[in-house]
Amino acid sequence: MSEVISVKKNRDFQKVFKTGRSYANKYLVMYVMKNEENAGNRIGISVSKKVGNSVVRHRVKRLIKESYRLNAVKISGSYDIVVVARQDARDRDYSEIESALMHLCKLHHILAQ
């Protein structure tokens, strides 16, 4: 099982929010910023309390993280990626979350050719 490197610090999240580019679809919003450290891709996941209780929020986080983990080899370059879940992501299954995540990756042009 491959490890996912995370964006953890609040200042890193804020930096991506302020200087990164964003695209959105019905379920997710993705902010992407080039990573200065060239240490590979890092992902941060944010799920608001508006999405649901802690069980629901954690389930959405797990779905996003697993979608990213299985498709990480397709993402080229060295980026900081922050994914924000919208309320509509609450009742979605894995395939819908994965397709939404890959759609945003295509919009950001970060998929390897």
Domain map (residue ranges) of the chain? 10-108
Asked if CATH classification 3.65.10.10 holds for the domain at 10-108, the reply, yes or no, is no
Task: End-to-end CA distance of the chain: give it in Å, rounded.
Answer: 24
**Among all chains, which residue has been given the structure tokens 């819908």?**
96
Going across the sheet that includes 21-24, the strands are 21-24, 28-34, 79-85, 42-47
Each residue's pLDDT, cut to its tens digit, for the chain (113 residues) gives: 578 889 999 999 999 999 999 999 999 999 999 987 777 899 999 999 999 999 999 999 999 999 999 999 999 889 999 999 999 999 999 999 999 999 999 999 999 87
Paired tokens of 70: 């299985």
pTM, entire model: 0.93
Express the helix, strand and coil content of the chain in percent, nearest 5 each.
45, 25, 35
